[in-house]
Structure 1
Amino acid sequence: MIFKRKSKDSDLGAVLSELEQAVEARDGGRTERAFGTVLNGLPQASEAERVMAGPRLAALIPGFPPTGPRVLLATAAGFCVEGGADPVRCAEPILAGVRQDLADAMEFVRRWRAGGGAGEELPEADGKIIDDALLTRLGDDEYEATRLALAWCTVAEWQPPALAVLCRSAEVRRGYGDGLLPACRELAALERHDLKCLEYALAILDDEPLVVLHRPTGRGFEVRIGGIGDNFQLHTLLAHVLVGSGHVPGTAPTAESVRLATDPEPARGRSDAVAVGTFELLAPDGERIWNEGLPDDIPVVEGRRLLVLDEPLYPRSWNADRFFPHLPGTAELLRALPEEETRTWFARTSLPVTEA
């Protein structure tokens, strides 16, 4: 939860109106006072107030200056989404802010390197680094330099509000995931920001058809997956729909492991449930697809993601909790492929069937 609940009552609608009027009037002092009152009122607001407040707070994000507390405003809107506000109505301003800060953080990198040489190490993403020397290095426009430096230092703080909308709406993920994921990965690759949660949320596949080939039996299946946060969860659900239904041999996952992967109710804390590996997950070229990775890692072949399951190389197990507590995963077995179609798919891999 983004904010902790307090005990006093609030009239959130009234203070929101004051904030909206202050922003419209471009009155900095009035805006600051009203925003502080909103933040103080949110934790004890009723569910109905938070449902009302979320879209209104999100709509104010573009009007907040990039050098001001814009990410805190987005966080407040995300808190309301956690409390029931519509994630679709809140998504555009929040994720537009994410997009802008990702771009600004990379522009910071470009200017930093241009000012000191490409081989110089990038600074830590800490607001303490922002001083006159750093701003001078970023260019002659102090406001622009400050904006870029703040983006570099605070971009990871956009994750909670972004996750609030992404993890509660497949429509939001479909609308924004592909556009934001490359920029997120580009910045994360510099290893100065922990953007793992944002990357994983942007990469989630929804209503995704998946061709699954079971190498030991030579059988093939079409499965539709959605809302799966990582390949640990995918592994469990594939074992459930294939082994649990008797289509392939092996040990089916426990009912508790399946429940933790699929329960529509948000997970409450960490469980002690253990999932056991049933397969080796392989790409069509035989390379391992790691459980720590994402369903998005599965290659696309002839317009379909193609996954090969093999016998596990060694026993393995992991905690059965899902990566995103508020996001249930789904895996639906659509059909068993006919033999001829299965052979065609196997021919697109470098893995011969091992069936005796």
Structure 2
Amino acid sequence: MIFGKAGFGGAVADFETAVAARDAKRSGKAFVRLQETFGQAKEAELLDAGPRLAAVLEHAPPGPRAVVAVLVGACVERGADAERCAPGVLAGLRTALEAAVAFAEAWEATGGGAFPAPDGGEPGDEAVERAGFEATVGWWTLRQWEMAAVAMLNHPAVRGRAGDRGALLHLLTTVERASGAEFTYLAHALRVLDDEPLVVLHRTSGTGYALRLSGIGDNFQLHTLLADALIGGGHVAGHAPSPQEVAVCRDTPGQVDTVGSFDLTAPDGGSIGNEGSPSGIPVVDGVRLLVLDEPSYRRSWPAGRFLPGMRGDVILERALEPEETRRWFAQVSPARELTA
């Protein structure tokens, strides 16, 4: 039994003290208590614990560090201040990504072979021997850092202050290429755009619109919210999503079956997949430009948010004037003919 008060709040205090003292044995015991008592934590304890645990992440032992980051993420999901928690979590994510890159390089340099998949347990002896302890832990705990980081990035204020998202995404892409693994939630969260201007051209009607999007995790979500703004708003003809379909794409939990309203098309005539993200929409004259074509076949999917903790929105700012619309259409390739 270590010193301190009972419950989750006491475990947090004990973990802080043990980490500050660099006492591995005591921090290990406090770490176990953190996990054992989290489920019974009161709201006030969670609000207080998130920033405190985030502040000591950098100095926490490498093994427990990622799990503590997940606890921080869980505190944020229960209401703890994401802006105060995010710096420690995102710094830890960067360290883990850098270590995972080093692991991939060491693995290749020592003979390569099947890349080990982390199973949530302890790293295997071979991995540690070939890449070293810190690099191996970085790779082995990356799924946990993904969970913690996405919990932070769900918040627009965090995304606005996370100026190194491009660097984190570059590291993540390097790890994915080397390992063959995908960290799709983290990749999408790092690519999310906020307050982003978007020009949309509706080819059938020859009309254009200026919109602004925020917090959109993927193009399925964008598709539904565009259909609501333009078709539901009475600007163009087509299939309008129901209020329930729109709600789950904006901020309501759950999924609702929907039917596609458009083909999303790039200015050069290429297809833009619903599986992608708005960050992949091409930029023309400093603004992302998207063409909406009539659906070439019937598509259906569960409407909702790929990142369910993130609020998304598409705001229609104005319809473009005819001359302005013509100038944009002049930069767009003709519609591709469908072949049987």
The TM-score with structure 1 as length reference comes to 0.87
Structure 2: gaps (5+ residues):
none
Alignment of 1:1-356 (within 5 A): 11-66=7-62, 68-116=63-111, 120-126=113-119, 130-131=124-125, 133-138=126-131, 145-167=132-154, 169-176=155-162, 177-190=165-178, 192-263=180-251, 265=252, 267=253, 270-271=254-255, 273-351=256-334
Q: Identify if the C-alpha distance between structure 1 residues 12 and 156 changes in structure 2 by more than 3 Å, giving closer, same or farther.
A: closer
| 1:200–1:294 contact (8 Å) kept in structure 2 | yes
CA deviation digits over 1:113-138, x for unaligned, max 9? 12226xx443333566632x544433
Letter in 1 for 2:41: A
CA deviation digits over 1:89-134, x for unaligned, max 9? 00011111111111111111112212226xx443333566632x54
Q: CA deviation at 1:277?
A: 0.7
SS of aligned partner of 1:189: helix
Whole-angstrom CA distance in 2 between matches of 1:353 and 1:116? 48
Letter in 2 for 1:155: L
Whole-angstrom CA distance in 1 between matches of 2:269 and 2:170? 26
Whole-angstrom CA distance in 1 between matches of 2:179 and 2:12? 38
Q: CA deviation at 1:352?
A: 6.0
Whole-angstrom CA distance in 1 between matches of 2:311 and 2:123? 40
What is the percentage of aligned positions where both structures have the same residue? 46
Letter in 1 for 2:124: I
The TM-score with structure 2 as length reference comes to 0.91
| 2:104–2:179 contact (8 Å) kept in structure 1 | no
Q: Identify if the C-alpha distance between structure 1 residues 115 and 15 changes in structure 2 by more than 3 Å, giving closer, same or farther.
A: closer
Structure 1: gaps (5+ residues):
1-8, 139-144
Q: CA deviation at 1:353?
A: 11
Whole-angstrom CA distance in 2 between matches of 1:112 and 1:324? 32
CA deviation digits over 1:242-297, x for unaligned, max 9? 1111111111111110111123x5x1xx44x2111110001111111111111111
Q: Identify if the C-alpha distance between structure 1 residues 55 and 129 changes in structure 2 by more than 3 Å, giving closer, same or farther.
A: closer
Q: CA deviation at 1:88?
A: 0.8
How many equivalent pairs are there?
Answer: 330
| 1:233–1:322 contact (8 Å) kept in structure 2 | yes
Q: Identify if the C-alpha distance between structure 1 residues 311 and 10 changes in structure 2 by more than 3 Å, giving closer, same or farther.
A: farther
Letter in 2 for 1:42: F
| 1:225–1:331 contact (8 Å) kept in structure 2 | yes
**What RMSD over aligned residues (CA atoms) do the two structures have, in Å?**
2.1
Q: CA deviation at 1:41?
A: 1.8
Whole-angstrom CA distance in 1 between matches of 2:336 and 2:171? 39
CA deviation digits over 1:178-235, x for unaligned, max 9? 3322222232234543311111111111111101011111111111011111111100
1:3 equivalent in structure 2: none
| 2:196–2:212 contact (8 Å) kept in structure 1 | yes
| 1:125–1:192 contact (8 Å) kept in structure 2 | no
